[in-house]
Amino acid sequence: MSKKAKSNIEVTLIYLFLAFMAVVIGYPLLWTVGMSLNPGTSLYSAQLIPENWSLVHYKWLFTDPSSDYLTWYKNSVMVAIANAFFSVVITSFVAYAFSRYKFTGRKYGLYAFLLLQMFPALMAMVAIYLLLNMIGLLDSLVGLTLIYIGGQIPFNAWLVKGYFDTIPKELDEAARIDGAGHLGVFFKIMLPLAKPILGVVALFNFMAPFVDFLLPRIILRNPDNFTLALGLFNFISNQFDNNFTRFAAGSILIAVPIALVYLFSQRYLISGLTAGGTKG
Amino acid sequence: MSTANSTAKTSHNPRLAVILSILLAGLGQLYNRRYVKGILFIILEVSFILTLGSFLNTGIWGLRTLGTLQGVDNSVFLLIYGLISVILIAFFIVLYVANVKDAKRDAIRLRDGEKTPTFKEAARNVWDTGFPYFFVTPGLVMLAFIVILPLMFTIALAFTDYTQYNQPPRNLLNWIGFDNFTRLFFETGGAGNNIWQDTFISVFTWTIVWTVVATTLQIGLGLFLALLVNDPRIKFKRTIRTILILPWAVPAFVTILVFAAMFNDRFGAINTDILAMFDLAIPWLQDPFWTRIALIMIQTWLGFPFVFALFTGILQSISKDWYEAADVDGASRFQKFRNITLPHVLYATAPLLIMQYAGNFNNFNIIYLFNEGGPAVRGQNAGGTDILISWVYDLTFELNQYSMAAAITLILGLIVTGFAFYQFRKTRSFKEEGNI
């Protein structure tokens, strides 16, 4: 067999494998879309390509008086914005101190962050529940946001600290000669130069309330306070095959915007993670 | 004993300053003639003791006894107050040590005849040395209450007898030492519910198998696809990459629930549409073996895109010179992969790959959302696909076996710490630690 023919076979095989992967990836996603367009609510009678497709579930989510979908959307957006903002502020404070200053406990603090970021929040759930109960923030979005902000510190402080370390110290010194103080260096040098990683942190924390269902499930009780993930989960957790099509419709409406954001920013996200996480 | 412009040693005694500041924070500073600072410290200490003294006292008592009056004392709250007291006391000790050090430093300066700084200079000085502390304080306080305190609580709980039959506020808790761990490791089958050892062993082994197999598969598939797409003969790279990254972009809880429906034994698309063509029907959700297979396949589907994206970035950054040199030497394709590509890729991403293993080790979402850890298995109190973390969830929120759940959590924590120590060694930020 000539070298060229061999190469052609190889390329064909690669394309075939990639096509197979595309089917494996696409099938569940398209199946979900198909389900959401089925007029009935049961999984059993639903078809992949419904004969008489309709947008009835989408309409139900937005217009039916018994649907809390818009409230959940609003709750999630509020938690997301607060979480993204305060996480960036607090994390960049911590990261700046750890990146640029020598102080007692610095080294052990770093060790502690690295260790704590590995511990899943679930490990501390009972105590978090009791604590929120004690200060009266159980079943409230403020309590949920507080837990999110506190919980993200170890991972993100580490990430941002790694990025700050790559900003040359000569820049700080130059700014100090020009009369900038501690805060001046932080606001005029560090924050502007660290925009990419701060963007990553903001994005991750913005997304968290949309995709996390565990914490809301433990903290929130009243359907008026639900976030999207929890609300959607409840569509199907009670009567599995009764509301699946409705769940599919509601899921698509959050999956599509989130997927678009991820696809557009994936290079940014991945390079942020590798830069902050490993190079430092 | 004038301080003005004198460079000669004076008779000011640092040891006395230290002793005074140990007796009462601020006294040493007064002796050092730093009056504002001294008075400030005294006010701080006195108000700390006055406002928190009784709280700390009750807290420590509660931590020690977990309450003495049944029905009146709530052991759980006492435990939390006790732990808060411990954190506050630790904080206080750190401040006190700083106070003593400060008194000593000032006294030595004074003895050596340095000029006492004016209040303005001193304030400036406090701002400079204290700045990093001011900046980490908000984060640190949140961390202390939202992460550290709950973890301490969990650890403490592992050494108490908090079960569904012994719950505050009706009953009091007791410290029972390592009893929970003993039961977990050694309590074997027999009458009643003596099933801890069996369950622990089967859950633990499945957790390890799950972590290793699922993570290795997702990394392997990610690497393989990255190599394929990186091949110069392949066109439409952008489109292909976008498609391959889709499973990462869609929120995982949505896809897992969708898969749960697709794998449904009776109505699911896998059985009714795909396998029906071959006249097969697999009990995906009823048989632990098949549930495990399904879980591993789904996790591979979910996890490979991140690895793929990660590796793609690295592959593009490997210099072509390496491969050209290898071609000159007549290296085979496998040799090039083995000796050039793999080391490059692994060197740059090792810490993130370890995180993938740690992530799957604690991957509660997929286990719980797919089949709630089920199907149920006879003779143990965890489902057939429960991993440690989802077992902890069940024990806590379904069976109310709080202490046992905490004991398992502690074991989990120790394993996770192992992962973390590996990270310490690998992460480059740490090697550059010294030169700040």
d(CA B166, CA B172): 7
A143 pLDDT above the threshold of 90: yes
Letter string b/e over residues B48-73, b meaning 16 or more CB atoms within 10 A of that residue's CB: beeebeeebeebebbbebbbeeeeeb
pLDDT higher at A83 or B195: A83
Whether the Cβ atoms of residue A248 and residue B240 lie closer than 8 Å to each other: no
User: In which domain, by residue range, is A28 found?
Assistant: 3-60
DSSP string, B259-297: HHHHT-TTT-HIIIIIGGGGT----TTTSHHHHHHHHHH
A120·B127 Cβ contact <8 A = no
Whether the Cβ atoms of residue B309 and residue B221 lie closer than 8 Å to each other: no
Judgement on whether residues A168 and A190 belong to the same structural domain of the protein: yes
Look at residues A180, A198, A200 and name the one whose alpha carbon lies nearest to residue A271. Answer: A200
- Shortest distance, CA A263 to any CA of chain B (angstroms): 7
SS3 of B94, please?
helix
Q: Confidence class of residue A238 from pLDDT cuts 50, 70 and 90?
A: low
Within 10 A of A16 (CB to CB), how many other CB atoms are there? Answer: 10
Q: Which CATH number belongs to the domain containing residue A174 in this structure?
A: 1.10.3720.10
Mean of the pLDDT values across residues A208-226?
88
Dihedral sign from CA coordinates of A67, A71, A74, A80:
negative
**Which burial class, exposed, middle or buried, applies to B405 when counting CB atoms under 10 A from its CB (0-12, 13-18, 19+)?**
buried
Nearest CA in chain A to B238: A263
Identity of the residue in B157, B228, B348 whose CB atom sits nearest the CB atom of A17: B228
Nearest CA in chain B to A264: B242
Number of domains in chain A: 2
At residue B175, φ and ψ (nearest 5 deg) are -75, 130
A167 pLDDT above the threshold of 80: yes
Judgement on whether residues A149 and A13 belong to the same structural domain of the protein: no
CA atoms within 13 A on the CB side of B325: 6
Judgement on whether residues A53 and A90 belong to the same structural domain of the protein: no
A119·B413 Cβ contact <8 A = yes
Look at residues B101, B76, B123 and name the one whose alpha carbon lies nearest to residue B14. Answer: B101
Whether the Cβ atoms of residue B223 and residue B307 lie closer than 8 Å to each other: yes
DSSP string, A213-257: -HHHHHH--SGGG--HHHHHHHHHHSSTTTSHHHHHHHHHHHHHH
A233 contact residues in B (CB cutoff 8 A): 253, 257, 369
A115·B77 Cβ contact <8 A = no
Judgement on whether residues A157 and A80 belong to the same structural domain of the protein: yes
Bridge partners (DSSP) of residue B160 are: B175
SS3 of B160, please?
strand
Mean of the pLDDT values across residues A7-20?
93
A136 contact residues in B (CB cutoff 8 A): none
- Report pLDDT for B4: 44
d(CA A40, CA A56): 9
Look at residues A58, A60, A54, A59 and name the one whose alpha carbon lies nearest to residue A39. Answer: A54
Judgement on whether residues A78 and A93 belong to the same structural domain of the protein: yes
d(CA B408, CA B418): 16
Nearest CA in chain B to A262: B249
Token pair listed for B134 = 């001011």
A211 contact residues in B (CB cutoff 8 A): 251-253
- Report pLDDT for B300: 96
pLDDT higher at B320 or A1: B320
Best of B135, B263, B316, B403 to substitute, by most chain A Cβ atoms within 10 angstroms, is: B135
Token pair listed for A148 = 């999110």
Q: How far is CA B96 from the centre of its chain?
A: 30
In one-letter notation, the amino acid at residue B370 is: F
Judgement on whether residues A206 and A134 belong to the same structural domain of the protein: yes
d(CA A95, CA A106): 11
Judgement on whether residues A85 and A177 belong to the same structural domain of the protein: yes
The residue out of A14, A42, A60 marking a domain boundary is A60
The residue out of A18, A39, A60 marking a domain boundary is A60
d(CA B29, CA B106): 8
- Report pLDDT for B117: 74
- pLDDT tens digits for range A173-209: 899 898 888 899 999 889 999 888 898 899 889 988 8
- Report pLDDT for A158: 85
Judgement on whether residues A107 and A45 belong to the same structural domain of the protein: no
Judgement on whether residues A84 and A206 belong to the same structural domain of the protein: yes
Where chain B has pLDDT below 70, the residues are 1-10, 188-194, 424, 426-436
Cis before B251? omega within 30: no
Judgement on whether residues A45 and A108 belong to the same structural domain of the protein: no
Whether the Cβ atoms of residue A92 and residue A189 lie closer than 8 Å to each other: no
Mean of the pLDDT values across residues A53-66?
85
Q: Confidence class of residue A211 from pLDDT cuts 50, 70 and 90?
A: confident
Identity of the residue in A11, A28, A263 whose CB atom sits nearest the CB atom of B258: A28
- Shortest distance, CA A84 to any CA of chain B (angstroms): 15
- Report pLDDT for A88: 95
CA angle B167, B173, B179 (to 5 degrees): 105
Nearest CA in chain A to B297: A24
Within 10 A of B263 (CB to CB), how many other CB atoms are there? Answer: 22
Token pair listed for B148 = 């550290």
CA angle B129, B144, A214 (to 5 degrees): 140
Judgement on whether residues A215 and A96 belong to the same structural domain of the protein: yes
- Report pLDDT for B73: 84
Neighbouring residues of A31: CB distance < 8 A, sequence distance ≥ 6: A48, B258, B262, B269
- Report pLDDT for A240: 47
List, in order of start, the domains of chain B with CATH numbers: 14-157 (no CATH), 196-429 (1.10.3720.10)
- Report pLDDT for A21: 95
Letter string b/e over residues A113-152, b meaning 16 or more CB atoms within 10 A of that residue's CB: bbbbbbbbbbbbbbbbbbbbeeeebbebbebbbbbbbbbb
Q: Confidence class of residue A12 from pLDDT cuts 50, 70 and 90?
A: very high
Token pair listed for B83 = 């732990």
- Report pLDDT for B214: 96
SS3 of A124, please?
helix
d(CA A244, CA A36): 8
Q: How many CB pairs below 8 A link A and B?
A: 267
In one-letter notation, the amino acid at residue A199 is: G
Look at residues A264, A199, A276, A35 and name the one whose alpha carbon lies nearest to residue B245. Answer: A264
B351·A182 Cβ contact <8 A = no
d(CA B222, CA A215): 30
B429·A182 Cβ contact <8 A = no
- Report pLDDT for A57: 86
Nearest CA in chain A to B241: A263
Judgement on whether residues A97 and A233 belong to the same structural domain of the protein: yes
